[in-house]
Structure 1
Amino acid sequence: MKKSTIIITGLLVVLPLLPALAQNVRNDQVGVLEAPNATPWGSWTRAVYCPPDSWAAGYTIRVDVLSGPGDDTALNAVALYCRERNGHDVARISPHDGFWGSWREGANCPQGQFFTHFTLKVEPSRRNQDDTAANSVAFACSNGQRLEASGGGQWGSFGEWQGGFSDAAICGVRAKIEEPLGRGGDDTALNNLEFTWCRI
């Protein structure tokens, strides 16, 4: 299995890298929600899930930074860090690696806490001007702490918080991605995220 080396707040972590097509069976799902403020472009990937008995407790984002007069795409990809109850990080999952930009420093819940809510930062359609679509995503931990990874796009605003399932945390994700449009096209990359909650 491929390994992913990740630097999280000064710590070097090596986790199994689970590709988008590697589906983990989760029979403990309690709900699925997507961002209500998302832009409409692109198509959905397959969902990827944390291994059984683990839930999302940290994440990182891939962002295309401001490119001046060029085409900006902002948020390109999201990866979740899956953690067991004992605090062991067991996997990094991402439904799509994105096309442009670089991975930023991750953000994590305290030990024993997992993601229970999310909100997506989106720039609405600008019609004939440069569209960036999703710019960042933030999460709330089960203790109420809110996290936003560094380096998100600067455009748009966050929507309403999504979540609220009892005794559950985020365990899976899929993304709505617009494929590259080619020379002269207005690329947006990631447009929406849909998360799955599983029983804790």
Structure 2
Amino acid sequence: MSTGICWARWLAAACAVVVLALGGALVMLSIALSKAPAVPGPSSADAGFARDMAVHHQQAVELSLIVRDRTDNEDVRRLAYDIVNTQANQRGMLLGRLAAWGLPKSPQDAPMAWMGHHDMHHQQHEGALMPGMATSSQIEALRRAKGTAAEVLYLKLLTEHHRAGVRMARSGSILAKDPLVKELAASMRTGQQAEVELIERLLERRGS
């Protein structure tokens, strides 16, 4: 057998191996892509929850920063410090998820539209965009209050804020598809419910 014929057969065999390898790689890539979680749409529950809870969290952080400078009570200041750290971190995770999806961070739809038929009816007024959120007048009153008066007002505002947050987080844990968002929503629900119980005890100590 001539050298030319042997070389041609070797080349043909090598090409066949390459083609098979490329075909196998494409099949594996196709399988991997089919199993990869789809990027949520801009009006999905995942995106809506991420945007709305980021806004909700931002106000809780704001209230906590205000009361930190209005009282010397260690229990209230410790609670405020925990909320600032926890909710600022969670807010960063939600906004980071939106960035990873390439979706706008600012709300595109009406607040809580992602929940569909929900029981959180709310009439927006004075900057209170969602249930549980304090109005601009209430925030200003907190800025003016001092000592026990500031503590009681903060704790009352935070109670309503957290209760609404728990309901929203519950819906997020059910409706969201992204595993990280579902897990984060479930964690928020548990954490904020525990804080509501703590807040109620702090209010009882103050006769409120």
TM-score in terms of structure 1 length: 0.22
Larger radius of gyration: 2
- Which structure shows the bigger proportion of residues in helix conformation? 2
Q: Which has the higher contact order (CA 8 A, sep 6+)?
A: 1
Question: Greater strand percent: which structure?
Answer: 1
